[in-house]
Amino acid sequence: MAIGMKTMNMRYHIAVGILLCLLGAVTSGHAAIYKYVDASGRIHFSNVPVKSHYSFYAHEAGDGEALSRSVTDLIKRYAVLNRLDVNLVRAVVRAESNYDINALSSKGAMGLMQLHPETAKDLKLSDPFDPLQNISGGTRYLRQMLDRFKGNLDLALAAYNAGPSTVERYGGIPPYQETQNYVEKVKQFQKLYRRSDT
């Protein structure tokens, strides 16, 4: 009995030590902490969510700069994976949410890339406010729009904003002021980001 308690106590201290090391790494590099629960009920934490079943868990309070670096890393990773210009993805995130991971529009669009509930469902996202899932899903959706409209950026952005069927119905950018402004805004942000990279 004493040996069993000693082993459990040692395991607890090891687990706490590992978590503290992880939190230290998070503070120094990435503010976001991700977790998942495996089939046997064990909880796993990581500051680098290398597998899609990790979901956003927490971030260091008051550490906006580190959180921003983490989001920037996710944008770069998923832009490359989905064959997108990184500056375009940055521009969409800025136009959609201004980098607010908890953004929620009056129409129910969620997170950094403002995914509508139906879009999030189609993309099979369990938590659209999780930065990893949101950027992964949002960049996949943006790639789908670019493919659907044969690489035409204006039409792809209009479709991202107003829906692809609306763009197809009008045979171009719909005559909605919001959508027309959105397309121009994203393109302007993209130019600004490109200039800042040079």
Active site residues: 96
Phi and psi at residue 35, in whole multiples of 5°? -145, 160
| Tally: H helices and E strands in the chain | 8, 3
Pair 173, 154: CB distance under 8 Å: yes
One-letter amino acid of 122: D
Sign, CA dihedral 172-154-112-135, equals positive
The string of DSSP codes covering 43-88 is EEEESS--STT-EEEEE-TT-HHHHHHHHHHHHHHHHHHTT--HHH
- Residue in 129, 24, 138, 132 with CA at minimum distance from that of residue 73: 132
